[in-house]
Amino acid sequence: MLRIAIGQISPVILDREATLAKVMARLREAAERGCGLAVFGETLVPAYPFWLCRTDAASFDDPDQKHLHSLYLEQAVSIDEGHLDDVCQTAGESGLTVVLGVAERPAERGGHTVYCSRVVIDERGTIASVHRKLMPTYEERLTWGIGDGAGLVTHRVGEFTLGALNCWENWMPLARSALYAAGEDLHVALWPGCQRLTRDITRFIALESRSYVVSVGSLIRETDVPQSVPLRERMVEPGEVVYDGGSCVAGPDGQWVIEPVVGREELLIAELDHEQVRRERQNFDPSGHYSRPDVLRLTVDRRRHNAARFLDEAGSPES
């Protein structure tokens, strides 16, 4: 059995430290409630960029958009600069594996582009992998870079093998297949937060993969947007709920363990029984006895893609 915690919380919009403080509070609560895994939504830190479709973000060379993007970059997560160190420490002290969605600003890509990333932190408090969203969706391409396959990996959590994808890349059949082939039987789908996004696909992936599927979303309400945020009056209406959560869990038979929860911040708890995975694999196993690698086979490039490769002479300073 594995007890999991689903952190359906709201970010403090464009405030990395305040949002991380909320994450760590939920981690401590999850540990107190005996959980071994805690998960959080897509780019929860420092927020999903919901403003793109509300502020005419495609306006070229617009000074307001440049200012807002600059703030997003400033508040994005740099793993190299230690922005997740306290979360890692909390995870290690609590013995929790953590799946966290962040807007990542990686140094090896120059440090000035944001990627939609999911970070897995293991129970020792070590960052086990970082997956950057393969293809930002629609207006997301105005603010996020395109990721690679380096994070299409799985991790052991108790008896389970965990994999995770960001939002609409959960609709990519080959991305799912890559994780199935790596032994996944517990799939985490990270979302901005809306039952319209989670209700159908969560049960579909569970049936396709014969795995537990955990969809985790955030809430974004007018009250979560600080008055100091630029263009706030164009982002939200008084009292508006932009994203309502929709976090849920489906079992490997496609039945609900937790139906979509909307409208409130909550640490949802579920008990997962690995025997249920083994039972459902009896009649269908997508990368095992029901696969035909002699006919259909997937090639996955899991190298991290960088803009440059520096070949320095021995003894010379690094470039």
Coil vs helix vs strand at 310: coil
**Cα–chain-centroid distance for residue 51?**
19
Answer whether 51's CB lies under 8 Å from 57's CB.
Answer: yes
- Six token digits for residue 315: 């003894």
133 is catalytic: yes
> Among 4, 9, 12, 79, which Cα is nearest to 40's?
9
Number of H helices, E strands in the chain: 7, 13
Catalytic choice (167, 194, 208, 280): 167
Catalytic choice (35, 104, 133, 280): 133
Answer whether 15's CB lies under 8 Å from 4's CB.
Answer: no
Going by DSSP bridges, is the β-strand pair 212-216/186-190 parallel, antiparallel, or unpaired?
A: parallel
35 is catalytic: no
Catalytic choice (42, 104, 140, 184): 42
What does the alpha-carbon distance between residue 94 and residue 5 come to, in Å, rounded to a whole number? 13
Going by DSSP bridges, is the β-strand pair 186-190/155-157 parallel, antiparallel, or unpaired?
A: unpaired
Going by DSSP bridges, is the β-strand pair 127-132/186-190 parallel, antiparallel, or unpaired?
A: unpaired
- Six token digits for residue 183: 């032994």
66 is catalytic: no
What does the alpha-carbon distance between residue 142 and residue 197 come to, in Å, rounded to a whole number? 21
Strand-pair partners of 104: 77, 115
Return the active site residues: 42, 133, 167
